[in-house]
Structure 1
Amino acid sequence: MAMNVGPGDGGAEKPLSDINTTPLVDVMLVLLIIFLIAIPVVVQTVDVQLPDVVFEPTETKPENVSLSIRPTPGQTGANATCEVYWNQTPVNAEQLVERAVDKLETEIARQGGPEAPGLELPEVHIRGDVNTPYRCIGGAIYQMQRAGFARVGFISEPPAGSALRAR
């Protein structure tokens, strides 16, 4: 093994303290090439065409149900309880199902019964607070579907400056 020495002060030779980086760069380039080749082989995906997301204004109809869901004030995290509001009236799970069944029956009767031509069932529009646990939103969806509502949508606020699609 050889040691590199260079001229020192006063003619005495001292070892050089510079690190030879050429082998380090070589190793890094080899690793880069390996990763560039290996990553496409490792990542296996199913080809799925995702929908284009464009904010569309919601058409509010009087027969639609508006639910607002938020965590109970002062509670955070996975153990937080939630509050569900039918329009602006707080409801629990049983009241939610009762009101939903009554609303659906009333709307079907108003349109001429379940066999009426052109029957248009109301929709559920959910406004969920960003901090609401998923189980609260999922529970409200489940209760509304259990009552017979087939269409459930989420109301959101588009970011400032985003484009709206005209119909």
Structure 2
Amino acid sequence: MALNLPSQRGRGRRAPMAEINVTPLVDVMLVLLIIFMVTAPLLTAGVPVTLPDSRAKALDQDQKPLVLSLDGEGKLFLDKDPLSEATLPDVLAQLAAKGDPAKPPQVFLRADRKLDYGHVMRVMGELNRAGYNRVALVTVGQDGQ
């Protein structure tokens, strides 16, 4: 049985504590992690679309893509702004005139899984006609993103 007796030299003085209490640091980091996990899905708020599943991996981005969305009712949105199919060719032509013709931006097409294939293909045809040939169909990957 060992006893830890104070020495005669350090009588009345305490030795400095050489340990760091990491419990508060871990608590703060866990709270921040929870906050980021809750708020991250809210940062990508847009048009509510039920995307199809896919096993494809995500694409690398070099510039901000143009996002076209088709919701479950067939309504068309450019980013978050509603758009009619009749005005789509004119809007795409205006965007193409503003951009660099040598390198058009990538287009993300988000279409609800309940939509008719022909409806999605009409929008893709208008994109191709306007010169947007880099079209990516957005899906939900294996990890839910």
TM-score scaled to structure 2, two decimals?
0.55
**Which of the pair has more CA radius of gyration?**
1
Aligned equivalents of 2:71, 2:84: Cα separation in 1: 13
Q: Is the 8 A contact 1:123 1:149 kept in 2?
A: yes
- The count of residues paired between Structure 1 and Structure 2 equals 91
AA aligned opposite 1:100: L
Q: Gaps spanning 5+ residues in structure 1: where?
A: 1-52, 73-81, 109-113, 163-167
AA aligned opposite 1:56: K
Determine the structure 2 residue equivalent to 1:130.
Answer: 113
Q: Is the 8 A contact 2:93 2:130 kept in 1?
A: yes
Aligned equivalents of 1:161, 1:137: Cα separation in 2: 22
Determine the structure 1 residue equivalent to 2:68.
Answer: 67
Q: Gaps spanning 5+ residues in structure 2: where?
A: 1-53
Q: Is the 8 A contact 1:125 1:152 kept in 2?
A: yes
Aligned-pair identity in percent equals 18
TM-score scaled to structure 1, two decimals?
0.48
Q: Larger % of strand: which?
A: 1
Moved over 6 A (4+): none
Q: Deviations over 1:46-87 (max 9, x none)?
A: xxxxxxx8532233432x210111232xxxxxxxxx111111
Name which structure has the greater RCO, CA cutoff 8 Å, separation 6+.
2
- Match for residue 155 of structure 1 among 135, 138, 142: 138
